[in-house]
A and B are shown apart, each in its own frame.
Chain A
C-alpha cells in the first residue's frame, strides 16, 4: 500500500470515456464512476452517447454505447472534449471512439474481445490495435473476459451471467487508476440486486478483481488522484436536463397552486420529460399521452382553458406539427408552456444528436402576426430554473412560452445543489374571482397588458373565446379592420412588456473591449470553459450568454455596442446572429457555427477566439 501511495500523481481534471456494446452496461458503469466521484467531492459533468437503434447488431460500430465523464478539482462545465482514458470493451468501441482520445491518453481494452469474428463485425479490415500509434497512447491490453471467468469460477453461474459482470472488472481497474474507493458501488450493488444475492457477490468479486489487477500491472502506474473541488456547501444530487425540466414544472405548479397537466406525444430526445412526469402521480400530476403531437398541445390548451398549468413537450418535428395550435394559444391569450428539446434537423434528421437549429421556428414559425416568449436553458441543471421561469411568465402574462433546451442538455447530467423550495418566487396568475362585476375577457388589467383568466366552473363569468379575431375588451368576434390592428398591437405589446419581468444581461469580463463572445442556450458550458481558460492564459475576451431570447433583456444593445467585435457562437447556421442583426441594425455580428449534431469542443472555440483576437 505504501508503494502505491508513493506513485500517486495529482491531477486537476480528468475525462474518461467508457464504451462498449449496447449490452455491455457502459451507461451504468459510467454512472457508478460519476456517483463515486461526486461523493468524493469532485465537480463533474457527464454525457451519454448511445446509438439511435435500440438493439443494433452486437459488436458493430452502430451498436456502440458510450458514456463520458469529466471530473475535476477545478470547476467542470462540460463533459470534456477529449478523453484521458478510454475503456473499450470490443473492437467496435475502440474503432468508434479512438478519435476522441487525447494524445498520450490511456486506452484500456478487453483483449479477449479482439477475435477475428469481432473484428469483422466492427468492420475492421486489419487489427485496429496494430494501426494505433503505440507511441501516442498507453494501451492496456487486459484479458478482461478471461479474468472475469477466472474470478467467478467458484460460483455456480452460467456463462451469460458471468460475462454480464465484465463491466465491473473495467470499473475496478479505473477505480484503482484514480484512487476511488469501491464502497459506494458495493452499496449500490447491494441495493440494486437485493433479491439476487449471487449477483451482488459476483459483481463485487469482479470489481475487486479488476481493482487488484490494475494494481498489479506495471503499465498502469503511476495512479492518479483528483482532489475534491471547492464546492458550495449544501445537499447535492445528480440531475440531467430532462429531469430538471420536469421538476421545474412541478415546482411551478406547487408555487402557483395549480394542478399540472402535460399533454405530450413521445419523441426523442424529449420523451423522458413525459416519462418523469408520468411517475409523479404521487404529486397529482396529470399526464396525457396523446395520439399525436397536435393532440398533445390541444389537450394542453384545453387544460389551460380549464385553469391548469398546462404544458406540452416535444422536439423539432413535433414543434412543426404544433404550430397551428400555438397560434390558437396566442390569439386566445391562454397560458401554455411548450418545451422543445432541440435535435438535429431538418425532418427526422439526427434524432439522438444535439443542435440549436429550431430558434427561428420558435421565434417566427407560425402564420399571422404571432409573437410569443422564447426562453433557452443553458445547463442541464438550470433547465429547472428556466422551466419554472417559463411557467411563471406564461401564467402571469397569460401567453404561450416556448422553452428551448436540446439533446445535449437533456441527456447531460451534473451535480446540482438542491434548491430551497421556500425561496422560489411566488407565481400569481390573474385568475378572475367569482362576483367580479362587469367581467370582460379581453380587458387589459395593468401595464403588462395581461387579461383576466376566468376559469370554467366559476359562476357568472361564462364567456366565449376562440380562434377568430376578437373585439378588444369584449372578446366578441370582430371583423372590424381597425380592431384587428388594435388586437395585433396589443398581443405584440404584451410580449414586449415581459421585458420588465426579466433580469438584465450580465457581462463576464470587461464591459468594453475588442471581442465579445456571444452564446445562447445549451452551448454555455463549452463557451464558458473556453472563456475561463483563455482568461487564465492571459487573453482578454468578454462573454455574454442569453437565456431570454424574446424579449431580449433590456440592456442588450447597451452591452453589445461597447465591443469592437461581436462574435456569435451557435450550433446552427447563424440563426441567433441573424435575429440580433434584425434587432440591432446598427451593429455588426460575426459568426462561428457548427452543425454536426455535436457540441462545440473547447479546443475549437479557443482556437477561433485566439485567431480573432490575435495576440494576448
Chain B
C-alpha cells in the first residue's frame, strides 16, 4: 500500500474555509493530520476520515480525502463498518470528549475491545464547545460551567482507563500545540494494527481556556511533561534531571543524583508490555503530583478484527460444500414435485 511520498500536507487540505474559533487547538491538530497523511504517503483515495458531532467533528470537511461527518457519538461504529467492508482503506476517526465518551461511550469501549484497525483521534478539551460551554465527562471535578454553575460533582473519565479496561492495545497522548509530537504519534497509530486511540489535550479558547495551561506553559512545560519513548528511561525536566521510578504499587518522581539515584534506577518505558499496569499508572499521572505522560504509552500487538473475519471467511469457504447461492438453495431437505 505504501507508495513513494509525493504528496505534501497542502494536498490534504480541502477547499472549505476552516471555521474553528481563532486560537482553537483544533487548527494545530488539523495541521498535524495533514502532515501525517503526507508523510505516511498513501494516495489520497486510501484515506477515510470519519467524525461524529462536536467542534472536533468538523474535521472531515477540511480533509481532501474521502470523509464522512456523521451523527453524535456514532463515528466509531460507522468507521468500523467502513474498515470491515474494505480493510485496504486507512480509516481515521476524529472525535471529542463528549462525542466519544458521553453519547458514544458504549461504542468507544466496544471499539477498543474489538480491535478493528482504526486510528481514533480524541480531542479532549474537557468541555462541550459546540453547544457553548456545558461540562463534559472529562471536565475536572468541581469545574464551573454553564450547566454546573456551582461546580460539578461528577468524577471525570480518564480515557486511558477506559481503553485499558476495554482490552485496548494502543494508547498515546499528545498536546495540540506540539505539532511534531502529534504527527509522530499519529504515524505510530497508523503503523499499529488494531484500534489506536490518540488522546490530544486540546485547548478550547472560548469555554475552557488554559485548562491545560499549567502543563503547556512555556516556562514549565519540560518539568511538567514526560515524553515517553519505547526502550528509553523515563527522564524529564528542563535540566533532564528528573525521572520516574516504581515505588511499591505506585510511581514516584525522583531527582537524579539525589539519594544516590542514577539513570539505572529509573523505569525504562516498555510500550509493548502486554501487562497494562505500568501503562495505567503512567497514563494516570497528573500535574501537580506528576508530569503528564505524552507519547505512545501502550502499543501491543493482538489479533485484528477484520483480519480474523477475512481468515474465517477463507477457512469456511474452503471447507463448505456451498460455493454459491444456487447451491445454498438446493442444500438440505428438498424434494421434487
Contacts and interface: CB of A to CB of B under 8 A. Distances in A.
A327 B74 CA distance: 13
B14 A231 contact: no
Interface string B28-67: 0000000000000001111010100100000011011111
Given A295-B74, A324-B71, A462-B44, A286 B85 contact: yes
B79 interface: yes
Interface string A12-44: 000000000000000000000001001101000
B16 A477 contact: yes
A524 to B, nearest CB: 22
Contacts of B16: 464, 476-477
A284 B317 contact: yes
Interface in B82-101: 82-86, 88-89
Interface in B300-337: 309, 312-313, 316-317, 320, 322-326, 328-330, 332-337
A472 interface: no
A234 B336 CA distance: 6
25 contacts: A39-B335, A231-B337, A237-B334, A286-B85, A295-B80, A295-B106, A295-B110, A298-B71, A298-B81, A299-B77, A299-B81, A302-B50, A302-B83, A302-B84, A306-B48, A306-B89, A307-B85, A307-B86, A328-B71, A332-B68, A457-B88, A460-B45, A463-B66, A464-B60, A466-B61
Residue among B43, B45, B68, B71 with most chain A CB within 10 A: B68
B69 interface: yes
A261 B335 CA distance: 31
A526 to B, nearest CB: 25
A458 interface: yes
A298 B316 contact: no
A457 B77 contact: no
Contact of A236 (B78, B82, B320, B334): B334
A303 B329 contact: no
A457 B110 contact: no
Given A247-B328, A299-B78, A308-B85, A232 B337 contact: yes
Interface residues of A, number: 66
Interface of A: 35, 38-39, 41, 231-238, 247, 250-251, 254, 259, 261, 263, 280-284, 286, 288, 290-292, 294-295, 298-308, 310, 324-325, 327-328, 332, 418-419, 421, 456-468, 476-477
Contacts of B229: none
A328 B52 CA distance: 11
B143 interface: no
A306 B81 contact: yes
B45 A458 contact: yes
Nearest to A309: B85
B107 interface: yes
Given A295-B110, A464-B69, A465-B68, A306 B335 contact: no
A473 to B, nearest CB: 15
Nearest to B305: A288
B269 to A, nearest CB: 32
B211 interface: no
Given A235-B335, A288-B80, A302-B50, A467 B328 contact: no
A281 B77 contact: no
A261 B324 contact: no
Contact of A282 (B69, B309, B322): B322
Contact of B325 (A234, A254, A465): A254
Given A456-B48, A459-B45, A298 B77 contact: yes
A254 B69 contact: no
A294 B71 CA distance: 11
Contacts of B329: 237, 247, 418-419, 421
Nearest to A384: B329
A421 B309 CA distance: 28
A301 B70 contact: yes
A275 B169 CA distance: 29
A263 B107 CA distance: 14
Given A39-B335, A464-B61, A468-B69, A456 B82 contact: yes
Given A299-B80, A466-B60, A283 B68 contact: no
Contacts of B328: 247, 250, 280, 283
Contacts of A457: 45-46, 66, 86, 88-89
B80 to A, nearest CB: 5
A203 to B, nearest CB: 18
A531 to B, nearest CB: 25
Contacts of B61: 464, 466, 477
Contacts of A476: 16
B97 to A, nearest CB: 19
A314 to B, nearest CB: 15
A283 B323 CA distance: 7
Given A263-B81, A305-B78, A464-B61, 14 more contacts: A39-B335, A236-B337, A254-B324, A261-B81, A282-B317, A282-B322, A283-B325, A286-B309, A291-B110, A306-B86, A332-B68, A421-B326, A464-B69, A465-B68
A462 B313 CA distance: 30
Residue among A237, A295, A459, A477 with most chain B CB within 10 A: A295
